[in-house]
Amino acid sequence: MRNSDHDGRSQGGYYQGPQGTVDAQGFLLKQGSPGTQGALGSMEQSGNLRVNGSPCALQAQCLRTVPAFFNAVYNGGAQDVPPEGEVVFLLAYQSGDFLFAPNTSVITVNTSGIYRIDYSLTLRPTIGLLNAAYAVAISEADHPFSFFGTYSDGLGSTERLQVGGMFLTDIRAGETVILRNKSSTSNHLSGMGIEVQTINRASILIQRIA
């Protein structure tokens, strides 16, 4: 709210009493007492929430985003992923905003929003070569921000390397998320061979941030 010498308003939603008058001898008399606090913001006819009298351009600026999250992994074992092949996941923990069947590759998003997607893969070289490139497809369209990969030659069969990526994207309710091999060669995902400990050979994390 604005300051005004005429309507007695002050900042912070309080009403300040009128200024005291000056008596005949020129002394300023006692100032009026403060008024009550102003009312809380209201809704405009357009539906925009008003906070302290100022309309919000976007509801997301005024209302807290409800978290939506999905985390899936495949622990141990192995998967050979051919070119354009899809990475499968087994275990999942989520907020209830997603559809997913264990040991499949398709994740359906039920809540629209801006999402951050992280993924990680553990690969074993094939005859000394590791040629890996992956991307996330949103409703069958490869997202240009999601392409990550690595290339190495002359590696030993006991070596393990990780490929990971992270990006932000807009996802509408009902769209699907799939992680795919975009290289020209098959890749061998391995969740074994790290001493005696099995690890996640594939993981994906999907978080709604707005």
Same structural domain, 5 and 78: no
C-alpha to C-alpha distance for 107 and 103, rounded to whole angstroms: 11
Q: What is the CATH number of the domain that holds 156?
A: 2.60.120.40
Same structural domain, 144 and 50: no
Domain interval for residue 20: 1-63
Same structural domain, 46 and 82: no
Low-confidence residues of the chain, pLDDT below 70?
Answer: 1-64
Same structural domain, 87 and 148: yes
C-alpha to C-alpha distance for 157 and 86, rounded to whole angstroms: 23
Contact call for residues 107 and 99 (beta carbons, < 8 A): yes
- The pLDDT, as a whole number, for residue 98 is 98
Q: Which residues pair with 43 in a beta bridge?
A: 49
Same structural domain, 15 and 78: no
| Overall number of domains in the chain | 2
* C-alpha 18, offset from chain centre: 50
Q: Is the pTM of this model over 0.75?
A: no
C-alpha to C-alpha distance for 39 and 189, rounded to whole angstroms: 61
The region that residue 157 occupies, defined by phi over 0 for left and psi between -120 and 50 for alpha, beta otherwise, is alpha
- The pLDDT, as a whole number, for residue 13 is 45
